[in-house]
């Protein structure tokens, strides 16, 4: 990608240099039409090479378009900032509600959530009934 960008910049430089060399004639750039500037006093025109006039016009047009778009999108940027602020406020509120309304765990759920340990050892079966039971005695 860097290589393609470098090729593009080199080609653009070659084209701009070719345009500059082809348009070296001096032209008069006037600020006001038909000698209107003489009524304001001073000289309201300048002599420049044609390629410089073309490049300055291009740069001024790019700058004017940049400022125009920046001003046009100002309301959208303002709305996005307001929405981001509202989303952050709501996330904080949800976090506070979770902390405030977190109920203690139920005992049964706590037992079920506890990690399992080794299996409990069961006593060996015997022929005698367990003490305290009402089962009939063995014969």
Domains of the chain, by residue range, sit at 17-100
- Dist CA 62 CA 55 (whole Å): 11
pLDDT, tens digit (0-9, with 9 covering 90-100), for 45-78 = 889 999 899 899 999 999 999 999 999 999 999 9
For the chain, which ranges sit under pLDDT 50?
Answer: none
The CA-based angle 89-91-97, given to 5 degrees, is 105
- Dist CA 86 CA 88 (whole Å): 5
pTM over the 0.95 mark:
no
pLDDT confidence of residue 136: 66
What does the DSSP assignment read for 8-22? HHHHHHHHHHHHHHH
Distances (CA, A) of 44 to 31, 33, 50: 6, 10, 18
CA 23 to chain centre: 44
Tell me which residue has tokens 């500059």.
Answer: 20
């Amino acid at each position: 990608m860097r290589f393609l960008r470098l090729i593009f910049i080199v080609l653009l430089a070659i084209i701009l240099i070719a345009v500059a060399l082809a348009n070296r004639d001096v032209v008069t750039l006037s600020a006001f039409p038909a000698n209107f500037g003489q009524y304001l006093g001073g000289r309201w025109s300048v002599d420049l090479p044609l390629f410089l006039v073309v490049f300055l016009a291009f740069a001024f047009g790019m700058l004017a378009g940049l400022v125009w778009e920046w001003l046009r999108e100002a309301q959208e940027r303002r709305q996005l900032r307001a929405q981001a602020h509202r989303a952050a406020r709501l996330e904080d509120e949800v976090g506070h509600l979770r902390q405030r309304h977190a109920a203690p765990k139920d005992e049964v759920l706590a037992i079920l959530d506890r990690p399992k340990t080794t299996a409990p050892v069961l006593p060996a079966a015997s022929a005698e009934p367990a003490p305290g039971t009402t089962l009939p005695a063995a014969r």
